[in-house]
Amino acid sequence: MSKCTGKTSIAVSFAASILAVATAQAQQASIPIQAYERLIQPFETYITIPYLHQKADFFGGIDAAKATTFAWVGATYAPGTLVEDGWRVRFMGGAGKYSYRTAIVPGGINDANAFSVELLGGYRKTFGNIYGHTIYVGAFAGLHYEDQILAFDDPFNPARGSEAGIKGSLELYSRIWQRYIVTAFGSASTVHSKYYAKAALQYELNETWALGGEVATMGDARYNEQRAGLAASLTWRKKIFSLSAGMLENSGRGDGVYTTLSVYSPF
């Protein structure tokens, strides 16, 4: 992200960010909106890839929380360019593991591996002069597939097994009072009744660093979780590195902590 004056700003971590069931983390990874304003400026790439220059971006990350670890990678492609409003296609995949309490297995703790993939299409639109601010909005919808493989079969876990369905997401970004950056993201999927919502506010310390806070809520047919923490971002060579950490409350595993590291980069 960069100011309209040309200064480079820092993104909010998504990201994406975020869990007690690992695949809910994939919900957050769908937000490279932290680069919306930044993409207004010309790219300064070191290697130009034909058909991808100014048309595609890459994002990924890893989230570690109480009883869960999840990693994801993804990319967005624009038939036009990412520096302007228009249609987008986004692909993302992720994998991780988690554990949860259940009386049906020996020891009362069941482990699971989770895999998730999605292909979404959408549109990014810029709204100018909304109460004196510019707001960037992205809306996506498409296919979502997930597989949760349990170590011990648990018929009382409604999120077990594989399922395919439809997912939709809405992303918003805006700069207020020159140095404050606001992002918001929400998504819902018919797969295992997943949902995710996050809001973040960061203060731009300089052209390289930003610091702020975030809150999030997420869940599926088996659990729900709330998070609150601090978020910091570093912009370096047109790449955005984001780190967030804080406290969580999970319906299945109680209180705990989380840490999320994510990266965003244009091709």
Helix/strand/coil (H, E, C) string of 75-135? EEECCCCCCCCEEEEEEEEEEEEEEEECCCCHHHEEEEEEEEEEEEEEEEEEEEEECCEEE
22-266 has CATH 3.40.50.300 classification? no
Q: What's the pLDDT score for residue 178?
A: 82
Q: What's the pLDDT score for residue 43?
A: 40
Distance CA 41, CA 4 (A): 8
Indicate the SS3 state at residue 40: helix
- How would you classify the pairing of strands 86-101 and 68-77? antiparallel
| CB contact at 8 A, 105 and 152 | yes
Distance CA 18, CA 30 (A): 12
| CB contact at 8 A, 66 and 20 | yes
Please list the pLDDT of the chain residue by residue as tens digits (267 residues).
334 333 333 332 332 332 223 334 444 443 444 454 544 444 444 445 556 677 889 999 999 998 889 999 999 999 988 888 999 999 999 999 999 999 888 889 999 999 999 999 999 999 988 887 889 999 999 999 999 999 999 999 999 999 999 999 999 999 888 889 999 999 999 999 999 999 999 999 998 999 999 999 999 999 999 999 999 999 988 889 999 999 999 887 889 999 999 999 887
Q: What's the pLDDT score for residue 159?
A: 93
